[in-house]
Every structure is written in structure tokens, then in C-alpha cells.
Structure 1
Amino acid sequence: MTERLALLLWTNADNQFGNRVIKEEIKEALLKNDKPLAIAKIEEFLNKEKNTPLNIAITGETGAGKSTFINAFRGMDNRDEGAAPTGVTETTLENTPYPHPMYPNVTLWDLPGIGTTKFPADKYLELVGFEKFDFFIIISDTRFRENDVKLTQEIQKMKKRFYFVRSKIDNDVRAAERKKDFSKEKTLTKMRENCVQGLRGSGIQSPQVFLMSSFELHLYDFSQLYETLDRELPEHKRHALLRAMPNISLEIINKKKKAFKRRLYLLCAVSGGVAAVPLPGLSIVVDIALMVGAVTDYICGFGLDIKSLKRLSAISGVPYTDLLAVITSQLAAKKITRDLLLKVSAQLAVSAVFMVLEEVCRFIPIIGIPLSMGFSITTTYRLLNFILNQLAEDAQKVYEKALGLKASPQKLKK
């Protein structure tokens, strides 16, 4: 890596997150040799997009499967602590938030039913506080009814986005299988068309209907729902959604990997910028802190932390030890620490050598700092890129193991 590349990465980070944060707060802390403050400011800078709030409103009649959908989206079993309570006898009387267990900035809200005395249709959105929701998901386990249509009309007036989810599709498919001329594809097409035609007949233009089973998110239309949201949400909200998405397809795992890869370039920019500060030993301290945060983020995002793997085991019925058996990375299902990363780095001899060269070059007149920046960027990139590729491959293998699939011939993109 050359000084020009280091400065280019730094400039890109500048353009995306603002000169003031990077050049004033972070650099000032570094120049004062205030390591704790520097690390805290850098983490604040990198966590900016991680903390973007995403509020998803879930509404529908009692028994439609709202709670089960909320739990499935959050990667939770209905019996888990903190899960939304299920059962047809419960009626939501007020907005109930259910934060994602790994990404609390993403919250699914169980809303009260529309059309009651307390929540009349024409006042519903005002009473539930529509302005805080990014979009609405309207769930029904049969056909969409008059109250669903009234709610949609009110949402349209407020210029918010909404999506229809026809739930419990697995039950309908099993019932249809008893017919002699059963065709799964035709059955699903007919169900979707019936929902769309019913909504159009009620005055809803171009309704988007997604067929779904909360117990089998990898089947039916959950992936299509995600793709639609990914197209229609603002960019900063898309990232929050992607991070919280369960790994229900190879495509989603690939999207997460690409998002982490983009973030890796910003980490390299910060690494190069820190290396430019003429304080021996500071760059390695900060680089390790950055990498601990990044790798922890990879593990949580790919669902390879202990809690996520145990939840997946409970939901899929595949023993936890069997899921661990397909994982090759020594970082998965571990608490990421400085010592653990240094151990991995030592095993990658080239990265370890670059760390040493970075500090040695710092004492060379004139060209020393540019060389240190290049070695710092190279070390950060090589180590994190290696870890990212390995964890992404592990996420694919865990996904296939949980679903009882054969190893996919499709490779994750580098």
C-alpha cells in the first residue's frame, strides 16, 4: 500500500462521515496521545450506521400470526425469554416494542387492532404514533378484511409504505396436498392472486402481497419481502435491515458479506490515518481495538455467536454441537479479545511481519510515516478480509446444516 492509497481511503471516509468528526475529534485525541478517548471516538464513528433506528409496525387481527412473525424475524423461538407472546386469546391494547436481540436499534412493534372503540380507523395512525414507523406490515391468516383495507387507506394518506403478509401458508399447503390434482406452485399462485384481487376490489392500487410461513422463513416469499424492502427503504435504513435479517438464504449471507467488505475499506482508512500520527505503539493498539469490534460485528451479523447458534439449534432441531462441527473458524462462538486476534494474526505470518515493519518504518526519516501507513492498511485489510471470508463460508455451512441441505455448489463471492 502506498501513501496515496492510504490518503484516498482516508478521504473516502472523510466524505462519507464528515470532516469534523474524523479530522477534529479523532485526530485531536490521537495527537494528545489520549488512547482511550481516541478508541472511543473511532468506535463512535464506526458505529454511526450501526445505530440507525429502524421501526417496523406489525398489525393484523388477533390470531393472524403477528407474534410468531415478530419472533421469527428476530431469530427467536416462541418459548425464548423476551419473545412476543403467542396465542389467539391475547389482544394487544397498546403499542408493544420487541427489539432485535442482537441489534436493538431494529424494533418490531406489535400494534393494537384497528376498528375498535379505542382505535377507530380514521384516528388509528394518529393514536399509535404513525410518524415513528418506517413501514407497516399488515398480516392476515385468511383473507384481508375491511379493517385491513381501512388501515391501508389511512397509511396511504400519511404517505407511508405498507406490505401485506398472508401468514400460515404452510397450513394451507398441507391442506391442499390432500387433493388429487395438487400442484404447490398453482396453489400458491391462486392464493396470492385471490389476495391481490380482493384488495384491488376494495380500492387498493397495486397491493404487494407476500405468502409466508413464520416456521419456514426460507420457503415462500420472505426473501422477496426482503428484496422489496431493500429496494424501497432509504439507504441508511437498508443497512439496519440487512444486519438484523435472519440468514435464510445464501443471497442474504452474500449481501451481508458485501456490506462488511465496504465497511472494511473504512476501517483501513482509519488504520492508515492512525499510523500517520508519530506515536510509537499507538497504531497497533488502535488497529487491534478496531479489529476486535469488526470481527465481533461479523460474528453477530452471520449468526455465529453462541446465543444465535443456540437459538438456531432450538428452532431447527439440529443439535448445537452439530452446528459447531461444520464451523472452521476458531473465532466463531467465541468472545473476541485482543489476545485471541493477536493469536490469529501470529498464525498468518505475513500480517505479523507487517505489524513489525510498520513500527520499524516509523523511525525512518521522511518516508517512514508513509511506509507505516501502507503497512498498517495492508495488515488491517489482509487480516480482516481473511476472517470475513472464513466466517461467511461458515455462515453458509451452518445455514445448510440447520436446514438439512447438501453443501451448495454455489460459492460465496469474494
Structure 2
Amino acid sequence: MSNGKGKRSSALHIRSYAAIVFLLCGLFRRTWITMFEDYRKITQEDLEDIKESISTQDLPSAINTIKEYLKKQDLVELNIGVTGESGSGKSTFVNAFRGLGDEEEGSAETGPVETTMEPEVYLHPKYKNVKVWDLPGIGTPNFKADKYLKLVQFERYDFFIIIASERFREWHTQLAKEIMRMGKKFYFVRSKIDSCITAEKRKKTFDQKKMLDTIREDCKNGLRKIGIEDPVVFLISGWELGKYDFNLLQERMEKELPHHKRRVLLLALPNITLEINEKKKKALEANNVKVALLSVCAATVPIPGLLVALDFVIFKTEVETYFNTFGLDDSSLQKLCENSDKTIEELKSQMKSLHFGLNLASMLPVLGAASLVVAGSAFEYVASLIPILGSVAAGAMSFITVSTMLKRALDDIAEDARNVLMASVGTTV
């Protein structure tokens, strides 16, 4: 009798376990199918090269190899040329785009007269491969668009931003047409919108939306008159970059950039709107598969301690990237405090991701717990998708563990960035 009960109990446990595994597989299937859309960014040959390289190294050397690979993955260069009339606010835009004020260290020189006599490059403070060029002013009587572009070496720029602080003039359209003729992209930006609003607010009939629509349409009409058939104009304030048309501008730039440069643009954008915050999250999430696959190499290399050490290095490196990209590192938070009425303690109180202690002792239990959560037949699904894993269970398990932890960390850090942004402007979500 007891044997019969035992068999029924075992069968019940097996069915319960199977149901749980089925649910887990369904969950992971939905999650990783989405993530694998970006799998093409790393090939089986890449993984095999990395595996071959670290298989002949000792533990410290192997870890350094992976660290260097992680550093090199975002070295795609992006060059942005910013041009316009003297005093149009192009240097202020160069600074704001890089998240700097006009008087901060490393900022472009600004002033009421032209201060840029030749192309001046300004590196992004966090992404040195993103270069914003402050180009000499246009609009002199002898201005010739073709000679100007040759002077500034037009071929090095991915796209141009043409800035005007009042109406667009003949030399703006000359430059735009020459840029088009040479096969490059450009964007018309009407700057100093905050000054226009301040001036118009004195009127009793002031209507901000109506005023902005009027300015935009006036710019478009002016461009049509000087030969631009279907102009798009973005209204921008260098002092309040998150307002007005900046989201529309970055969406257009992202859409028209080659695929391999979109990620670089998104990561470099200042984290000043909720829309940018969400785009950054998606760009980082798309990289999780590529990064997690590196742990597979360690699972198939017989170096004692390599798998745990590399999983930790990969996770630590990516989490640090998340904090920097979302502007949650200490230096970025301090800068945000200076531009708002919040203290750094108040901003940090909005952050729950501070519990990601980036040391090996604190991470081992977390990584181990993740392995238990995803244990079962879920790894077989992942193994079937990744050729290099084959039937190596350790590799599949390591992949799932790292990618799961990265997703969890990214979700928390992106939410923190959203909360910090809202707190800094005094708004609740």
C-alpha cells in the first residue's frame, strides 16, 4: 500500500516539476527569441577565436583578454559636424549634446562673435569615439559652399547639423544642397527657442504651442523660398535641450544612421528625456546576448576558476556601463545636482540598483541563485539555438545565468534612471 502511495506521490511530483519546467521554458523562449534577433552581432567564428585565444592562457591573462574584447565592442566612430552663422549657438549645442555646460572643463568656447576659425573636435566625455565638431561660421559675403566643405573635410562627418538662430538664409540652403550633392545627411536646427519664448511671454495673448508652430512654419516657408522642397526644421534650446524638438531630432538621426552606428549615438545622448532613457535601455539590452555568449567560451576551456571569474568580470563590466550610460555614476549625479535643487543623497534615494555590489564576494551568491532559477531543461532550448554550445550543459547554463542577471540589472538601473530624471525636474511618474 505504501509503495502505491509512494509511486502516486512520485508521479505527482514529476508532473508538477514538468509543469514548472514547461512554464520556465515558455518564459525563457519568449525572452530569448527577442534577444536573439541581435545574435548576428557576434558570430560562431568570433567565439571560436576567443576560445582558442584564452585556452592557451593562464587565468589572469584570459580575464584580461575578455576585458579587452568588452572594451573594443563599442569603438565604432561617430563624427557629427555642427555649423551655422556666427552667434547662432552652435558651440552651445556642441556642449549640450555632450552633456556639458558652456563653462565646464572640455567645453567648446562660446561668445557673441565667431570663436571658431577652423574645425575643432570635441570628444564625448564618456564615449571618446563620439566626436562633435564645431565648424567655422558661415554667412560671409564671399561664402562658397563647395569650398567650405572642402575646407572642413566634409568626408569625415557622418552627418551635419545646420543651425540658425533667426531665419534661414541663402547660404544655409547653398550648404544643404552641396551636402546633399555629396551624399551626406543634414538637419536644420532653429536654436535659441527659449529666448523667443521669454520675449513673447510678455504678450497677454501668449500661446506657447501656437508660437512654436508659427516659428517652425516660418522657417519651413523660408527654406522653400530658397530652394528646399520639403524642409524639416527642429526647434532647439541649447540651455534646455530636453525640451521642444530634441526628441524628434534624435529619432531622425537614429533612423537615418547605418545600423552599426545607431547604438553609439543612443549611448552617447544625454539622458534628459524619458524617451531617450527607454531607447538607451533597448540598445543595451540588444547587446546582452553578445556579452553573455562570452561566458560560453569559459565553460569549454579547462582553466580552474575561469568560468566563475569571467562571469563576474562580464557582469561587473556591463553593470558599470549601464550606470555610466544612464548617468547614474557619482560624477554625473553630482552634475545633475548642480543643475537642479536636489542633493546627491536625494537622487540616490530614488535608486534601488545600488544593491548591485560590484565585488566578487557579493556577486557569487547572486550568480549562483540565478543558476538555480534557470536550471532544468530551459538550457537545452538555448543550446539548440547557439551552434558553438552544442551539448555542453555548462556553457548553456552559464549563458542563461549571465544573460538573466544582466537583464535583471538593466531593468533595475533603467528604472532608477527614470526615477532620478523625474526627481531632478520635480515631477512624479
Alignment TM-score, normalising by the size of structure 2: 0.82
2:362 is aligned with 1:343 = yes
2:125 is aligned with 1:125 = no
Counterpart pick for 1:58 among 82, 94, 103: 82
Aligned length: 389
Note if contact 2:267-2:280 (Cα within 8 Å) is conserved in structure 1: yes
CA distance in 2, matches of 1:199, 1:39: 56
CA distance in 2, matches of 1:16, 1:387: 22
Please state how far the C-alpha of 1:120 moved relative to its aligned partner.
3.7
Residue 236 (structure 2) aligns with:
212
The SS at the match of 2:241 is coil
CA distance in 1, matches of 2:243, 2:194: 9
CA distance in 2, matches of 1:64, 1:175: 17
Percent of matched pairs sharing the same residue: 42
Q: Could you list the runs of 5+ residues in structure 2 that have no partner in the other structure?
A: 1-23, 377-388
Residue 41 (structure 2) aligns with:
16
CA distance in 2, matches of 1:285, 1:237: 31
Question: For residues 401 and 14 of structure 1, do their structure 2 counterparts lie closer, same or farther at Cα, with a shift above 3 Å needed?
Answer: closer
Note if contact 2:224-2:231 (Cα within 8 Å) is conserved in structure 1: yes
Residue 413 (structure 2) aligns with:
391
Equivalent positions of 1:240-279 (< 5 A) are: 240-279=264-303
Please state how far the C-alpha of 1:35 moved relative to its aligned partner.
3.4
Counterpart pick for 2:404 among 361, 368, 382: 382
Note if contact 1:10-1:272 (Cα within 8 Å) is conserved in structure 2: no
Equivalent positions of 1:304-323 (< 5 A) are: 304-323=328-347
Residue 411 (structure 1) aligns with:
none
Please state how far the C-alpha of 1:15 moved relative to its aligned partner.
4.2
CA deviations 1:294-343 (Å, max 9, x no partner) are 111111111111111122222334333322222222268xxx8543xx41
Note if contact 2:85-2:139 (Cα within 8 Å) is conserved in structure 1: no
Please state how far the C-alpha of 1:238 moved relative to its aligned partner.
0.8
CA distance in 1, matches of 2:117, 2:339: 29
CA distance in 1, matches of 2:408, 2:200: 48
Please state how far the C-alpha of 1:184 moved relative to its aligned partner.
1.2
Please state how far the C-alpha of 1:264 moved relative to its aligned partner.
1.1
CA distance in 1, matches of 2:69, 2:46: 7
CA distance in 2, matches of 1:159, 1:146: 20
Q: Could you list the runs of 5+ residues in structure 1 that have no partner in the other structure?
A: 358-366, 409-414
Residue 237 (structure 1) aligns with:
261
CA distance in 1, matches of 2:63, 2:35: 17
CA distance in 2, matches of 1:62, 1:276: 60
Residue 370 (structure 1) aligns with:
392
Note if contact 1:345-1:383 (Cα within 8 Å) is conserved in structure 2: no
Please state how far the C-alpha of 1:375 moved relative to its aligned partner.
2.8
Note if contact 1:9-1:269 (Cα within 8 Å) is conserved in structure 2: no
